Amino acid sequence: MDLVNSGYRFFYAGPENTTAPSGRGFFVSSRFAPYVGASERENDRISRLDLWMGEHIIRCFSIYAPPSSCFGAEDEEQYSKFLEELCTLLQQSNPHKICLNRRKQWCNGAGVSKGHILLLGDFNAKLGKKENEAEICIGQYGYGDVRNARGRLLIEFCEQLHLRASATFFKTRSGRKWTWKSPDGITRNCIDHIFACPHLRFSNVRKGH
């Protein structure tokens, strides 16, 4: 779907019915729209979009994690199950395998040698700040002083899959880090995140780099 006078195209990824969780999709600059190889709904909470850029494929996943509907061990069990499903999906859709199997179809016969994973969306988890140097997946500029149980599970997930919380590697003021605000405007949290493999590099777009 082209958005009039916006310079962007929207790739909608569900839900297929009104009883499913909130929908997901991708806003892609019109400049990059020709590089979109596929846009598919994986399940009610995860969708995928592939960008084919020369020798690179960037496999993007739009995430809407389950909100907290219970407390304690029950909530952790629910979130762990979601992360297990996501982990299985990532392992099944290894971008290197996709490149080898479909390079002629999507890349006009050109070899594709480098695959990248990018996760973005509402993870409903608070990562907080880096707690020790052993945590490779989080940088020095996390938000908030509290890491909740979901955040710890998410950190373990990222360490296992060698993913990094991209925003935590950029120094910026706290007012630009939160992504959720309570109805009374008092409480603010960062529960939306971008995770990427280490070799997928980002720039701080607010500085114009």
Which residues, 6+ apart, have CB-to-CB distance to 6 below 8 Å? none
Q: One digit per residue, pLDDT tens: the chain, 209 residues? A: 556 567 888 887 766 665 555 667 888 888 888 899 888 888 889 999 999 888 888 899 999 999 887 667 788 899 999 999 999 988 887 655 544 444 334 344 445 457 888 999 999 999 999 999 999 999 999 998 899 999 999 999 999 998 999 999 988 888 889 999 999 999 999 999 999 988 777 766 555 44
Domain boundaries, the chain: 38-94+113-196
The closest of 125, 127, 116 to 161, measured between CA atoms, is 116
Q: What is each CA distance from 55 to 52, 58, 108, 112, 201, in whole angstroms?
A: 8, 10, 12, 4, 16
pTM of the model: 0.81
CATH class name, domain 38-94+113-196: alpha beta
